[in-house]
């Protein structure tokens, strides 16, 4: 477990460094808080299977408050991101429980997606979910191949993959990387 925690902390430190290098000053400062919270949530979820409200809810509220002062998405996009993120995963968790008779997704994941939506806006939610699902699928496929066994009843925390995808989308939406990608696409179309 100590090796896992060291890996998580190293990943958080790398994310913090990239946040500082890739983002404008104000976004980088707020991004450090974002990275710290996501790193803590990743560690907690891997160790306990929980995403505590004491971290997810302040993260959500901070995303909403920052939007009110002009940092990040518009207040409407932030509020919609928070509401739709929570509603989608909470609804999916309820549906899964009704169909299978046991929990397959925790409400902490719904709250985390709501927080990520508050920081990145409603239109970012599909990309976050896609990134989280793909990174989780790749990780668990590799892990199962390495172990040479598949346990369909094993509990698999989804929070770390939401955190990773949310950070990636945060960087893409706040940096000049999206402008470079758009410029590159336009340049290729004009050739």
Copy the structure tokens of residue 17: 């460094």
Indicate the domain borders of the chain: 2-190
In order, the DSSP letters of 85-129 are: HHHHHHHHHHHHHHHHSS-SS-HHHHHHHHHHHHHH-GGGHHHHH
Tens place of pLDDT for every residue, the chain, 191 residues? 778 889 999 999 999 999 999 999 999 999 999 999 999 999 999 999 999 999 999 999 999 999 999 999 999 999 999 999 999 999 999 999 999 998 888 899 999 999 999 999 999 999 999 999 999 999 988 887 777 776 666 778 999 999 999 999 999 999 876 555 555 555 455 44
Could you tell me if 67 and 30 are in contact, meaning their C-beta atoms sit under 8 angstroms apart? Answer: no
CB neighbour list of residue 71: distance below 8 Å, 6 or more residues apart: 26, 27, 30
113, burial (CB in 10 Å: exposed 0-12, middle 13-18, buried 19+): buried
């Amino acid at each position: 477990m100590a090796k896992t925690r060291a890996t998580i902390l190293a990943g958080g430190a790398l994310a913090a460094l990239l946040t500082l290098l890739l983002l404008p000053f104000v976004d980088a400062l707020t991004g450090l808080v974002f990275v710290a919270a996501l790193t803590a949530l990743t560690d907690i979820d891997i160790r306990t299977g929980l995403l505590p409200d004491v971290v997810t809810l302040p993260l959500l509220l901070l995303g909403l408050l920052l939007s009110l002062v002009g940092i990040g998405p518009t207040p409407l996009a932030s509020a919609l991101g928070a509401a739709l993120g929570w509603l989608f995963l909470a609804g999916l968790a309820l549906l899964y429980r009704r169909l299978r008779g046991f929990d397959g997704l925790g409400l902490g994941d719904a709250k985390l997606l709501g927080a990520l939506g508050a920081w990145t806006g409603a239109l970012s939610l599909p990309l976050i979910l896609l990134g989280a699902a793909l990174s989780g699928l790749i990780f668990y496929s590799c892990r199962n191949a390495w172990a040479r066994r598949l346990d369909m009843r094993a509990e698999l925390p989804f929070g770390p993959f939401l955190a990773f995808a949310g950070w990636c989308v945060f960087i893409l939406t706040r940096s000049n990387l999206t402008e470079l990608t758009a410029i590159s696409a336009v340049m290729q179309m004009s050739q």
